[in-house]
């Protein structure tokens, strides 16, 4: 036992010795960040944080790479429960409602008040679609950092071969079906979309919004509109793509499978995130183009992405240091640089006024299309029990994609399940009457 | 005569053919990993799945994998974790295994089942409580914090108990008559004979902790303390969009290479020692 | 005279000392087992018993997420909710299929591999390495590799099936097939490790009985059935216990490959617990499901242990 204790102590001493020397006046904070697309993003983030640490003396940020989005949420919550809450976390933006309800993250309003600004003034520069996910119950909880929307990617060579004009990608659902039929050939699929958990919910939101719908109540966490005509139409559309038009394969394909099929020329049109733009630009060997998500009723897409949140349980110095770091990370310059590196949107509109950004957009017309779609963007669903409520729909749509259920039944069952999940919250809020 | 020989040899030849086919099937994921790690166009192409190597191999994937983290440091940290842990475990499991196999004492069976409980408790349930304990012990964000929950091993104790039980008692009885104390019997008589049990345990312990992801991710914050699988996660855990198969393959090879080289090098000696002393379970 | 007296006195002192030493040694020997177990017990107390107690307490309380309500004692309410949850029932059923689906092929293959490579030749050295290598790959990485292998249309499996003029199902995306694909990965990963135990176990097959059986004209199958398998019974029992426990307590591959989908087709109890605790803020439910799984595992392994100990006694 003494040996173990000594081993522990000496190893601990070793670890301490390895930490960078820090002056006493400096506030040390932890920043948890996930890597959403590629490994090299972790390196870039570490570089950014190093840059920040060298730029000033008051705050020392320890950048902690924490796996995927889900791992990051898990680690941050576990650390908070164990009494070591991280100061700043880059968190998937649709977790904000749940994390506020569970008491994990803190309101950023006091910082705004201290700077004598208002929420509206602060959010002014951010794209309007981002506001709903940043604000929970009327208070600012997250600062958007990188964002995405779904985008239609198509194989230009296949278009030419099928006698389609690559300059005129499908704009409506009808045109999508039409093009898909011409493109599907042998083991090549006309159209493919990721249908694993998380991605499917987001894309069903995109399709139901393109069909005029809302998916959820942006201002109240206890309502989703799964069994409404907009979602029913979207579900039937997916069902038809598989079973009627036969331009999409039966069953579920995960995002990794979709991008690989696209690169391999086995899928002619795919729906993927704008966050994959750099990845596709670097890896697609054939000609490709990008276009808006096709519409049935209107053009509309959901926002996705991550925002910076602060965990409760910080010292006063820790809070100030965290906010200072968030402000640095979300300047138009930093956001613009990160956007060019990753392919995500910069959430600040002013980032696009910078000359580097203008030059970048001019050089990459695909990024221009993604940017042009932004005015049509709407908030990402974020409800009470976001993950479970989303999964309620996904499980049913997946069953439909496997031919186990019809669209009409699927959306009805999904709504029932979601209502059950949200009932505890609804009963404590909207149905709690005087 | 010739037909007779053929008839006798045929089943043997068929067996070898069948065995080779199964071995090829078993090895194919590795073959693909090796081929893909040197293949350009690592994110996917029509020939991505081919097991035939390309004519223009590239080291690009390995470069990308190595650049996404400080792999040298990861190797050292991982090595510290697995060896430090194994050293402590060898002591705890040998002692406990010996006690359960050879000594009679009140409450032995109950204690044995109490040990086994460790195996039944599923990891997700342990994350938060164990993290609290690690913080209370002052081991948060340190390598000993990664190791501490595993210092006691029910599996190792179980394995050593079975190993000791399978050993003949003659030698220890002779040693006991000569007046040797219990620790001398364990150290000079039993442990040398139980080496295969320890080796069998070492394989499990080393591979399990070399490859563990979730727990080190929870305990470690400082980049200086990170382990290999956290580096690997940069390629495996990407949420949105792409999978870079080439980099993933290269990263997997980088993580498993030390273990694989060690196994291939010592394969003979270690399987033989395993075999000839008979852990029969 | 005096010398003799002195010697006698000395002897009696020595006797007394010896008696005292013996009784001390005896007392020490009585405490010895506990001393030997102490280091393990200390860490078990910190990292096994303490969490179990915490989980047990958690399982009796409920704090509905996001309603502002405080923690309330609900007795066995969480257990009732878990058992009534169709997702849990499906996970339990999946787990049963998964456990049997992995265990049986793993044992058969481990034994077959062991029989094939038991002799120490160069070929068997190569084969052993091939069969054993999968157990060295991180489960997370193995799952990512199999994600590629199973990719519809472009993956390793479909690529070569197409060359044979066949087309596979959507290995991970078809809810009827996905669980079997996950089973395939687990068998590939585990069989080689258990092969080692069978190689060792085969050394205990009595040579003379085997030779006698050959002289009596027993064919290979009969020798396997009546001589080898009975001799391997303790190994099989041991491997069964550890294989069951191992495969019921690892979940990384599900997280990477399918996250329990499509439509919960590959959701295992462990992943159900993971979701309840870490995605859905349902700690009470997660705790109850954890204890249910601990109880089942404990019953299972105690059962097999009992069979095993009986077998070992009969054998030896």
Whether A38 has a pLDDT exceeding 70, the answer reads: no
Q: Does C303 touch chain A (CB under 8 A)?
A: no
The verdict on a CB contact (< 8 Å) between B242 and A280 is yes
Residue A145: other Cβ atoms inside 10 A: 24
Q: Kindly report which listed range (A68-72, A215-219, A369-373, B132-136) carries the lowest average pLDDT score.
A: A68-72
Q: Where are the domains of chain B?
A: 70-277
Chains contacting C with at least 3 CB pairs below 8 Å? Answer: A, B
Interchain proximity C65–A260, CB inside 8 Å? no
Contact of C159 with C165, CB cutoff 8 Å: no
Give the lowest-confidence range in A196-205, A221-230, B253-262: B253-262
The closest CB to that of C270, out of B15, B122, B259, belongs to: B122
Q: Is the pLDDT of residue A23 over 70?
A: no
Please determine, for residue A4, whether its predicted confidence score (pLDDT) is greater than 60.
Answer: no
List of chain C residues whose C-beta atoms are within 8 Å of the C-beta of residue B214: 252
Domain that holds residue C8: 2-48
Option in C131, C151, C256 nearest B26 (CB) = C131
**Which of B91, B126, B242, B245 to mutate: most A Cβ within 10 Å?**
B242
Q: What is the ipTM of this complex?
A: 0.86
- The long-range contacts involving C125-131, CB below 8 angstroms and separated by at least 24 positions, are C125/B267, C125/B268, C125/B271, C126/B23, C127/B19, C127/B23, C128/B267, C128/B271, C128/C192, C128/C195, C128/C199, C129/B263, C129/B264, C129/B267, C130/B23, C130/B26, C130/B27, C131/B23, C131/B26, C131/C191, C131/C192, C131/C195
Shared domain for C146 and C219, answered yes or no, is yes
Inter-chain touch C50–B91, beta carbons under 8 Å: no
Domains of chain A in sequence order? 23-147+304-363 (3.40.190.10), 150-302+380-428 (3.40.190.10)
pLDDT in tens, A150-190: 999 999 999 999 999 999 999 999 999 999 999 999 889 99
B128/A78 Cβ within 8 A: yes
- Please check whether residue C67 touches A, CB under 8 A: yes
Lowest mean pLDDT among A115-119, A371-375, B26-30, C301-305: C301-305
Asked whether residue C139 falls in the same domain as residue C41, the answer is no
**C99 and C215 housed in the same domain:** yes
Q: Pick out chain B residues at pLDDT < 70.
A: 1-10, 42-44, 46, 55, 234-242, 269, 272-281
* Together in a domain, C24 and C97: no
Please say if the pLDDT value at position A261 is more than 70: yes
Number of domains in chain C: 2
What is the reported pLDDT for B186? 84
Instruction: Evaluate whether residue C94 is within a structural domain.
Output: yes
Distance of CA A2 to the CA centre of its chain: 49
Per DSSP, the three-state class of B57 is coil
Does some domain include residue C253?
A: yes
Answer yes or no: do C16 and C85 share one domain. no
State the CATH number of the domain containing residue C141. 1.10.3720.10
Same domain, C86 and C24: no
Task: Please indicate, yes or no, whether residues C250 and C298 belong to a single structural domain of this protein.
Answer: yes
Please identify which residue in the block is written with the tokens 């066995």. Answer: C76
Per-residue pLDDT tens listing for chain C (316 residues) = 455 556 666 677 777 777 777 777 777 778 899 999 999 999 999 999 999 999 999 999 988 887 777 788 988 999 999 999 999 999 999 999 999 999 999 999 999 999 988 877 788 888 888 998 898 888 878 888 898 899 988 889 998 998 888 888 999 999 999 999 999 999 999 999 899 889 888 887 888 888 888 888 888 888 888 889 988 888 888 888 888 888 888 888 888 788 898 999 999 999 999 999 888 888 899 999 999 998 988 888 788 777 767 665 444 3
Q: For residues C100 and C97, give the distance between their C-alpha atoms in angstroms, rounded to a whole number.
A: 5
Question: A70, A192, A251, A266: which to substitute to probe chain C, counting the most C Cβ within 10 Å?
Answer: A251
C85 in the same domain as C35 = no
- The answer to whether the CB atoms of B260 and C237 lie below 8 A apart is no
Position B275 scores a pLDDT of 60
- For A144, the 3-state DSSP assignment is strand
Asked if the Cβ–Cβ distance from C173 to A74 is below 8 Å, we say no
- Would you give the DSSP letter of residue A311? B
Measured in angstroms, the CA of B46 and the nearest CA of chain A are apart by 4
**What fold is seen in the domain B70-277?**
MetI-like fold (1.10.3720)
> Which residues 295-324 in chain A show a CB within 8 A of chain B?
304
Residue B236 pLDDT: 66
pLDDT the model gives residue A297: 97
Name the residue facing A384 among C66, C259, C263 (closest C-beta). C66
CB-nearest partner of C36 from B98, B210, B260 = B98
More confident residue, A382 or C313: A382
State residue A12's pLDDT score: 47
Omega of the bond leading into C262 within 30 degrees of 0 (cis): yes
Mean pLDDT within A294-313: 95
Q: Find the helix or strand (DSSP H, E) in which B182 lies.
A: helix B182-184
Beta strands C61-62 and A377-378: pairing type? unpaired
Cβ atoms of residues C36 and B96 within 8 Å: yes
Same domain as C18, residue C155 = no
| Integer Cα distance of C87 and C108 in angstroms | 32
Separation CA A267–CA C18 (nearest Å): 88
A326: left (phi over 0), alpha (psi -120 to 50) or beta: alpha
Same domain? C271 vs C207: yes
Residue A289 neighbours by CB under 8 Å, 6+ apart: A153, A154, A156, A159, A166, A169, A366
Tokens 């091939």 belong to residue: C130
pLDDT at A124 over 50: yes
Burial of residue B44 (number of CB atoms within 10 Å: 0-12, 13-18, 19+): buried
C-alpha angle C305-C309-C315 in degrees, rounded to nearest 5: 140
Residue of B nearest to C287 (CA): B125
Tell me the nearest-neighbour CA distance from A237 into chain B, angstroms. Answer: 23
C130 interfaces chain A, CB cutoff of 8 Å? no
Same-domain pairing of C85 and C44: no
pLDDT of residue B125: 79
Nearest to C259 among A77, A102, A196 (CB): A196
Task: Work out the average pLDDT over A296-304.
Answer: 95
Indicate whether A335 pLDDT > 70: yes
In angstroms, the CA A422 to CA C9 distance is 90
Of the candidates A138, A105, A137, the residue with the CA atom closest to the CA atom of residue A119: A138
Residues 47-106 (A) with a CB less than 8 A from some CB of B: 62-71, 74-75, 78-79, 81-84
Alpha helix segments (H runs only) across A82-198: 96-101, 109-114, 119-123, 131-134, 156-161, 173-183
Q: Model confidence at A3, in pLDDT bands (50, 70, 90)?
A: very low
Same structural domain, C44 and C169? no
**pLDDT surpasses 50 at A247:** yes
Of the candidates A189, A385, A395, the beta carbon closest to that of C65 is on A385
The reply to whether C58 falls in a domain is no
Per DSSP, C62 falls in state: E
pLDDT > 90 in chain A, percent = 76
Q: Which of A19, A37, A283 sits opposite B224 (nearest CB)?
A: A19
B217, B229, A197, B231: which is closest to C140 by C-alpha? B229
Instruction: Find chain A residues with C-beta within 8 A of B67's C-beta.
Output: 40, 43
| Rounded average pLDDT over A384-392 | 94
Residues 176-235 of B with CB under 8 A from C: 182, 196, 200, 203-204, 207, 210-211, 213-214, 229, 232-233, 235
């Amino acid at each position: 036992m003494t040996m173990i204790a000594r081993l522990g102590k000496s190893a601990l001493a070793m670890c301490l010795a390895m930490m960078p020397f820090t002056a006493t006046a400096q506030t040390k904070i932890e920043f948890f960040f996930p890597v959403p697309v590629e490994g090299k993003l972790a390196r870039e983030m570490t570089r950014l944080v190093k840059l920040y640490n060298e730029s000033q003396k008051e705050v020392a940020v320890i950048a902690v790479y924490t796996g995927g989005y889900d791992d990051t949420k898990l680690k941050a919550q576990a650390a908070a429960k164990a009494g070591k809450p991280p100061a700043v976390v880059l968190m998937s933006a649709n977790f904000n409602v749940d994390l506020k309800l569970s008491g994990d993250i803190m309101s950023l309003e006091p910082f705004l008040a201290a700077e004598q600004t208002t929420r509206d003034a602060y959010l002014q520069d951010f794209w309007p679609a981002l506001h709903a996910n940043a604000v929970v119950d009327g208070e600012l909880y997250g600062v958007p950092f990188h964002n995405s929307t779904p985008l239609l990617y198509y194989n230009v060579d296949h278009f030419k071969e099928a006698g389609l004009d690559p300059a005129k990608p499908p704009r409506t659902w009808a045109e999508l079906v039409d093009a898909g039929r011409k493109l599907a050939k042998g083991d090549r699929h006309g159209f493919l979309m990721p249908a694993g958990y998380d991605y499917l919910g987001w894309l069903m939101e995109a399709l139901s919004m393109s069909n005029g719908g809302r998916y959820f109540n942006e201002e109240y966490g206890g309502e989703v509109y799964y069994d409404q005509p907009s979602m029913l139409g979207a579900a039937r559309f997916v069902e038809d793509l598989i079973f009627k038009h036969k331009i999409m394969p039966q069953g579920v394909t995960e995002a990794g499978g979709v991008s690989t099929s696209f690169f391999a020329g086995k899928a002619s049109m795919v729906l993927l995130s704008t966050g994959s733009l750099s990845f596709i630009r670097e890896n697609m060997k054939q000609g490709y183009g990008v276009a808006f998500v096709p519409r049935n009723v209107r053009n509309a897409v959901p926002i996705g992405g991550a925002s910076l949140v602060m965990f409760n349980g910080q010292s006063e110095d820790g809070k100030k240091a965290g906010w200072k770091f968030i402000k640095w990370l979300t300047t138009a310059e930093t956001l613009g640089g990160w956007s060019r590196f990753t392919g995500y949107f910069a959430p600040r509109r002013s980032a696009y006024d910078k000359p580097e950004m203008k030059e970048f957009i001019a050089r990459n017309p695909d990024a221009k299309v993604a940017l042009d779609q932004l005015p049509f963007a709407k908030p990402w669903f974020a409800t009470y029990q976001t993950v479970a409520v989303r999964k309620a729909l996904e499980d049913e749509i997946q069953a439909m994609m496997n031919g186990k259920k019809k669209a009409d039944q699927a959306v009805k069952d999904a709504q029932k399940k979601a209502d059950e999940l949200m009932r505890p919250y609804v009963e404590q809020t909207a149905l709690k009457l005087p | 005569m010739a037909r007779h020989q053929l008839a006798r040899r045929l089943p043997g030849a068929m067996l070898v053919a069948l065995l080779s086919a199964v071995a090829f099937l078993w090895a194919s994921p590795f073959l693909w990993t090796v081929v893909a790690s040197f293949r350009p166009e690592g994110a996917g192409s029509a020939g991505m799945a081919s097991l035939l190597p390309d004519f223009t191999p590239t080291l690009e994937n390995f470069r990308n994998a190595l650049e996404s983290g400080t792999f040298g440091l990861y190797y050292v940290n991982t090595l510290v974790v697995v060896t430090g842990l194994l050293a402590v475990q060898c002591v705890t499991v040998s002692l406990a295994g010996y006690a359960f196999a050879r000594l009679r004492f009140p409450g032995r069976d109950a204690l044995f089942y109490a040990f086994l409980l460790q195996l039944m408790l599923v990891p997700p349930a342990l994350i938060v409580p164990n993290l609290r304990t690690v913080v209370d012990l002052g081991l948060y964000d340190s390598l000993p914090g990664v190791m501490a929950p595993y210092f006691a091993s029910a599996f190792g104790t179980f394995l050593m108990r079975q190993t000791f039980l399978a050993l003949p008692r003659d030698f220890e009885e002779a040693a006991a008559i000569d007046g040797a104390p219990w620790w001398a019997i364990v150290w000079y008589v039993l442990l040398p004979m139980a080496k295969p049990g320890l080796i069998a345990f070492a394989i499990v312990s080393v591979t399990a902790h070399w490859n563990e992801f979730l727990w080190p991710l929870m305990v470690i914050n400082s980049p200086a303390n990170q382990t290999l699988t956290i580096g690997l996660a940069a390629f495996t855990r990407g949420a949105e969009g792409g999978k870079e198969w080439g980099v993933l393959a290269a990263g997997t090879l980088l993580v498993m290479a030390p273990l694989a080289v060690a196994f291939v090098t010592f394969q003979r000696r270690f399987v033989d020692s395993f075999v000839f002393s008979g852990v029969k379970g | 005279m005096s010398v003799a007296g002195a010697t006698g006195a000395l002897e009696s002192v020595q006797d007394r000392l010896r008696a005292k030493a013996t009784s001390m040694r005896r007392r020490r020997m009585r405490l010895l087992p506990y001393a030997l177990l102490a280091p393990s017990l200390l860490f078990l107390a910190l990292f096994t018993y303490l969490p179990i107690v915490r989980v047990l307490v958690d399982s009796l309380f409920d704090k509905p997420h996001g309603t502002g309500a405080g923690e309330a004692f609900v007795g066995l309410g969480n257990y009732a909710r878990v058992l009534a949850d169709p997702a849990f029932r499906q996970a339990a059923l999946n787990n049963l299929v998964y456990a049997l689906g992995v265990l049986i092929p793993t044992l058969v293959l481990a034994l077959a591999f062991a029989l094939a490579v038991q002799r120490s030749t160069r070929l068997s050295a190569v084969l052993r390495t091939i069969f054993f290598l999968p157990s060295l790959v991180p489960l997370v990485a193995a799952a990512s590799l199999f994600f590629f292998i199973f990719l519809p249309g472009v993956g390793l499996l479909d690529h070569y099936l197409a060359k044979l003029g066949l087309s596979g199902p959507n290995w991970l995306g078809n809810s009827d097939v996905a669980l079997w694909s996950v089973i395939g990965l687990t068998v590939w990963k585990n069989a080689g490790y258990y092969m080692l135990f069978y190689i060792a176990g085969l050394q205990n097959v009595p040579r003379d009985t085997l030779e006698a059986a050959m002289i009596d004209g027993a064919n290979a199958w009969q020798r396997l059935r009546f001589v080898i398998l009975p001799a391997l019974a303790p190994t099989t029992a041991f491997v069964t216990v550890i294989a069951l426990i191992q495969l019921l307590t690892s979940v990384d591959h599900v997280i990477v490959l399918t996250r329990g989908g499509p439509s919960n087709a590959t959701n295992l109890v462990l992943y159900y617990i993971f979701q309840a605790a870490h995605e859905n803020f349902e700690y009470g439910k997660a705790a109850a499901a954890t204890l249910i799984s601990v109880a089942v595992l404990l019953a299972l392994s105690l059962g097999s242990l009992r069979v095993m100990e009986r077998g070992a006694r009969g054998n030896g």
